[in-house]
Amino acid sequence: MKLHTSFAALASCLLLLGGCGSSTGAAPEQQGCPAVPGKQDPCITTSGTAPDDIKAGLRAAAQDLTGRASRTVMPNKKKPQFRTQGKQHIARYITVDQGSVHCEVRKGQNSHTPYTGLISYDEVTMECTGATKAEAAKSTNCKSVMSSSRRELIRYDGKTKKWVF
């Protein structure tokens, strides 16, 4: 409950400050921030000391990783789990909060791995209600019931000059 409250407070602060929206609102299938061609994703923040091209590559890898995670996580929006509570049907699924993505670059130990990256993001469990399963699956009456943080460690390959999962 404490994590859920903290997440709600953080999302409110971001909205008040004009920052990125969260994907946990009434339309949970939307991504937190719209992508603008030619510009870096405003949802993905990067910290650490590294050249800008290394950080940009990490942001792109983070966007790729969270995109994969949102497509492969189960149950997802396309195939939710269903249960009934009284006469209400509840569809439950997990989505990746694109507004929570953060990257950190750290100096590596050798020339083969000159940098390591840490990608953090939140997976949010949503529940939508409706009179039937079909209504619950397409409902906009959704609420966030749980959030879990994920951390992925990746490395920068000094030979190929690419981030490797």
The domain limits of the chain are 2-7+43-164
Q: What is the pTM of this model?
A: 0.70
Q: pLDDT tens for residues 128-151? A: 999 999 999 999 989 999 999 999
Q: pLDDT tens for residues 15-26? A: 333 333 333 333
Higher pLDDT, 32 or 116: 116
Could you count the other beta carbons within 10 Å of the beta carbon of residue 13? 10
- Which structure tokens are listed for 89? 């049907």
Please enumerate in sequence order all residues whose Cβ is within 8 A of that of 120, keeping only pairs 6 or more positions apart, or say none: 100, 101, 102, 103, 104, 149, 150, 151, 152
- Which structure tokens are listed for 98? 């694109």
